[in-house]
Structures are given as structure tokens and as C-alpha cells.
Amino acid sequence: MGSLDRSLIAGLSVFESLSAADLDRIVGQARSLRIPRDQPVFEQEQEAHSFFLLLDGHVRVVKSTPDGHEVTVRYISPGELMGIAHALGRTTYPANAIAAVDCVALAWPSQLWPTFAAEFPSFGANTYKAVGSRLQDAHSRVIEMSTEQVDQRVAHALLKLVKQTGKRTEEGILIDFPISRQDIAEMTGTTLHTVSRLLSAWEGEGLVRSGRQKVTVVEPHRLLLIAEGRVEKG
């Protein structure tokens, strides 16, 4: 395999403020990976042998609970790090990471993590900032689960995915990777039946359009009103 070029990582927020020489050194120690759709990047409780940067595609992060349930925690988009267990003080991965579509990523041995964090302080600071943002997202989801109605939670989840991955089309804003109603149910702590009922009702009202593993938000402002609890129930 030929050497990787720094243009792969230049301009990404986690590598801000690094010189060309620093970027060359970092990317020179990476290996590139192609992960087919539905295949794991890494698995929960597996030894954290590597950390990764997603270059193309989307990755679903899924947490397995002790009683055998799976909860979709979040989606990783291009430009984001994943598998940064060592930044959390862990030696194993805290969740499963599964390619939602065919993906391309860079991987570094986890043993390089302390070296990178020490020798490239902005990289370490940006990474911990990203970790903090994800923890804040997790905290917000706990609050949503305990205080919001299910229609608010589903609306919030769709709006978050539109903000993260939305692609404007003639119909509206498409969530730009395959997502099933079961995935949405796992994200929002509800059942497949409830998500199907809500999406069907919202399709009838012209808020969304959905098909096989596809969701398009047609009226984001009206969906936001639902998410914020500002729509009276009939």
C-alpha cells in the first residue's frame, strides 16, 4: 500500500492547528480500512487495539445491555474519531461500531494515543472536547428519556440526524444513510410499533416521507414544534 497523504486529515476539526509536518507524521502511522456495510469496525468489550477516523460513510454505535437488548447510542459521520477508548481511560471498547453503509476509515494502534496526546496538544484538546460533547449528548438523551413524550423523542432523533447527515432533495431533507424504524426505536427507547405508528401519522400530515430504510423530513419546522412539545394533542 502506498503512503497516505496528509490531505486526508487536513482541515478536520480534530487536527486543527497542526503543521504540515505534524500531519505527515500522524497520517504516516495510519493504515486505511474499508468496512463493508453491516460489518463491525470493533465490538463491545473487545480489547481496544486501535482508534479510528471515519473518512467516508456512516457508522452506527450500538450498546448491548446485560439483558440482551441493543440500544443505538449515536451515529458517527465523516471526520469524527471513534474507538478512542484510551481517551476514556478504558482498555476495551465501550460499545459496538457497525458500518451503516460501506465505509472508509483510518486506523492507528492504540499504543500511539498517549504519544499523540502529549506531542500534539491541540489534537489531545480537540479529542477531549469531542468526548465532552458526546457525553453531553448522552446526558441530554437521558433527560429526554425521563421527561419527554415518545413523539418528542422521535422528533428530536430525526432532527438530530437531519442536522448531522441531512441531504436536501426535491422532497425535503433526506437522512443520508439507511435507517430502519427499528433503529429509530432503539435510539429513542420505544418500540417498533410506536415508531411505525408515529411515522405513518406524520406522513399523513405531510411532515415526513419514509420507505425501506429511508426517512426524509419534509417539514422540519413543524417537527421541531413536536420535539419542543408545542403541538397540542388532538
CATH code at 189?
1.10.10.10
| Final residue before a domain boundary, out of 75, 107, 134 | 134
User: What's the pTM?
Assistant: 0.82
CB of 52 closer than 8 Å to CB of 106: yes
The residue behind cell 438523551 is: 141
Let me know whether 35 and 117 are in one domain: yes
Same domain, 14 and 95: yes
Distance CA 66, CA 78 (A): 30
Same domain, 93 and 182: no
Q: Residue 59: which domain range?
A: 6-134
- The CATH number of whichever domain residue 80 belongs to comes to 2.60.120.10
How many domains does the structure of the chain reveal? 2
Which stretches of the chain drop beneath a pLDDT of 70?
1-2, 232-234
Same domain, 47 and 117: yes
What integer pLDDT is reported at residue 203 of this predicted model?
Answer: 95
Is residue 214 a contact partner of residue 226, using CB atoms and an 8 Å limit? no
Beta bridge partners, 56, equal 104
Cα→Cα distances 57→147, 162, 184, Å: 33, 15, 19
Q: Is residue 212 domain-shared with residue 170, that is, in the same domain?
A: yes
Q: What is the pLDDT of residue 4?
A: 86
CA distance 37 to 69: 21
CA–CA distance, 174 with 97 (Å, rounded to integer):
23
- The burial of 181, by beta-carbon neighbours within 10 Å (0-12 exposed, 13-18 middle, 19 or more buried), is given as buried
For residues 62 and 99, membership in a common domain is answered with yes
Shared domain check, 153 and 120: no
Task: Fill in the amino acid letter for 81.
Answer: L
Nearest-angstrom CA–CA distance, 157 and 87: 26
Residue 141 covered by a domain: no
Query: Quick check: is 41 in a domain?
Result: yes
